[in-house]
Amino acid sequence: MPAPRQLVVEADGGSRGNPGPAGYGAVVIDPDTAQVLAEAAEFIGVASNNVAEYRGLIAGLTAVRDLFPDTDVRVLVRMDSKLVVEQMSGRWKIKHPDMKPLAARAAEILPASSVTYEWIPRAENKHADRLANEAMDAGRRGGQWEPSSSTADLDTPRAAPEPEPSGPPGDAAAGAARVRAAMAAARPAPTPARAPESPQVPQAAQAPQVGWGSAPDLGSPATFVLLRHGETVLTPEKRFSGSGGSDPELSATGRDQAARAAEAFAERGTVQEIVSSPLRRCRETAAAVADRLGLEVRIEEGLRETDFGAWEGLTFAEVRERFGSDLSAWLASPEVAPTGGGESFTEVAERVAATRDRLVAAYAGRTALLVTHVTPIKTLVRLALGAPPESLFRMELSPASLSVVAYYADGNPSLRLLNDTSHLG
């Protein structure tokens, strides 16, 4: 009896807006030669990232069935969607009503015993990613992707003269060897890594309309999901806790909040990148989300909390008692720093604005989770709204709360959410 035919399916999906204009890409590869046997891509209209990812999976498995209708096959599906891989492997429950029928449809294409799933970093899924982007580009032009327009095979090795990788990632030998190794191993341990996606070029340089108006097509914005860290022992007592004093860890309550936030992000499937303040309470919160989503965490110094100088660890009442005149001056002017060499709100705003600009450029068209503190989040919101500095004292931000700001290609931001704690139950 002949041995089963070994195949690899790599699939991806994307949404510019999430939900927004969406498309998928899928490729079927011979693991022995790294030869591309089939490509599939389609613009699917307005949908979420997760829907597009599932549609890519369905297209890839369907291509295998159509190529080898009467052949016993063994298929390794490789995707950078942790959600799809874990749900189709049976390790995560499928809760979202939009995902259930898609998962069921994917499971019916080939026998369950013939398909295994592996999460891979985005950098190893370039072929399917480019197909998905080509499909979305075609949809933006009012058409559909055509195989003749595909350039995705530029990212896929075409031959494998050597059994071991000897060149840079993406060359023929390395690619084929990597795919063969993946087929040989049931589920090799992935190395979390992400590569920034090239920003989409907007079609028009017009300001996005707000309120009841409809925004013009400026491309997908850089969307920052702002997560305040979970609770520490200092939080319930409302003590000044910045970057100049102790670096407290999350309390038991804070760890639970981080876990709940991670679960919410896994269900929504919108976060593509994670950036954290260097302080411990943020790193721990970010790590909980990163572990759940299979992403890496980038540390960004510009997201650290204000240095409160001599006020670190004190309550507001204690600061009023010990440094009354300094506190009054601080409350009256953003130019005044806390006692003992702390940072003024003006200094913090300059630091945060510079950080914002770097991250907007790095994550254009993507959704990034920024795990940070009260002052940086309030500052990003204030700057997005063009509000005066005193507005910092008029916002409430709960531990592990979510706020969202989107930054469009013309430089105009849009505040979408503030202090949401619904995910905490």
351, 342 contact by CB (below 8 A)? no
- What integer pLDDT is reported at residue 379 of this predicted model? 97
Comparison of pLDDT for 306 and 246, the residue scoring more: 306
Mean pLDDT within 373-388: 95
Cβ-Cβ contacts under 8 Å for 107 (sequence gap 6 or more): 88
233: its two tokens: 């022992």
For residue 138, pLDDT beyond 80:
yes
**What is the rounded end-to-end Cα distance, in angstroms, of the chain?**
56
How many CB atoms neighbour CB 310 within 10 A? 18
178: its two tokens: 């990597």
Residue 373 is a catalytic residue = no
For residue 195, pLDDT beyond 60:
no
Q: Catalytic residue, from 10, 42, 229, 343: name it.
A: 229
Cβ-Cβ contacts under 8 Å for 254 (sequence gap 6 or more): 229, 230, 231, 232, 235, 281, 284, 285, 399, 400
For residue 77, pLDDT beyond 90:
yes
How many CB atoms neighbour CB 362 within 10 A? 16
Nearest to 314 by CA among 349, 342, 335, 292: 342
Mean pLDDT within 409-424: 91
- What integer pLDDT is reported at residue 181 of this predicted model? 55
- What integer pLDDT is reported at residue 409 of this predicted model? 80
Q: Catalytic residue, from 86, 118, 305, 343: name it.
A: 305
Assign 12 a pLDDT band (cuts: 50, 70, 90): very high
For residue 197, pLDDT beyond 90:
no
Assign 148 a pLDDT band (cuts: 50, 70, 90): confident
Q: How big is the CA angle at 268 (ends 294 and 124), to the nearest 5 degrees?
A: 35
Residues 202-246 have pLDDT tens digits of 333 333 333 333 344 556 789 999 999 999 999 999 999 999 878
Helical H segments across 143-279, by residue range:
172-184, 252-268
What H or E segment, with its residue span, contains residue 53?
A: helix 49-67
- What integer pLDDT is reported at residue 203 of this predicted model? 33
For residue 79, pLDDT beyond 80:
yes
For residue 13, pLDDT beyond 50:
yes
- What integer pLDDT is reported at residue 319 of this predicted model? 96
Assign 421 a pLDDT band (cuts: 50, 70, 90): very high
For residue 193, pLDDT beyond 50:
no
pTM score, two decimals?
Answer: 0.57
For residue 280, pLDDT beyond 60:
yes
Reply yes or no: is the peptide bond before residue 221 cis, omega within 30 of 0.
no
How many CB atoms neighbour CB 214 within 10 A? 6
For residue 175, pLDDT beyond 50:
no
For residue 259, pLDDT beyond 90:
yes
270, 404 contact by CB (below 8 A)? no
Computed over every residue of the chain, the mean pLDDT equals 84
317: its two tokens: 């009442």
How many CB atoms neighbour CB 358 within 10 A? 12
For residue 337, pLDDT beyond 70:
yes
Alpha-carbon gap, residue 284 to 399, rounded angstroms: 13
Q: How many residues does the chain have?
A: 425
- What integer pLDDT is reported at residue 153 of this predicted model? 60
24: its two tokens: 């998928």
- % pLDDT > 90, the chain: 66
- % pLDDT > 70, the chain: 84
- What integer pLDDT is reported at residue 48 of this predicted model? 85
- What integer pLDDT is reported at residue 218 of this predicted model? 57
Residue 127 is a catalytic residue = no
Give the least confident one: 145-159, 261-275, 347-361, 370-384. Answer: 145-159
Return the sign of the alpha-carbon dihedral for residues 376, 379, 385, 390.
Answer: positive
Q: Phi/psi class of residue 28: alpha, beta or left (left: φ > 0; alpha: ψ in -120 to 50)?
A: beta
Query: To the nearest 10°, the Cα dihedral for 280, 286, 288, 290?
Result: -140
Q: What phi and psi, each to the nearest 5 degrees, are found at residue 412?
A: -85, 125
Return the sign of the alpha-carbon dihedral for residues 246, 249, 250, 252.
Answer: negative
Nearest to 55 by CA among 111, 131, 155, 137: 131
9: its two tokens: 């399916």
- What integer pLDDT is reported at residue 302 of this predicted model? 96
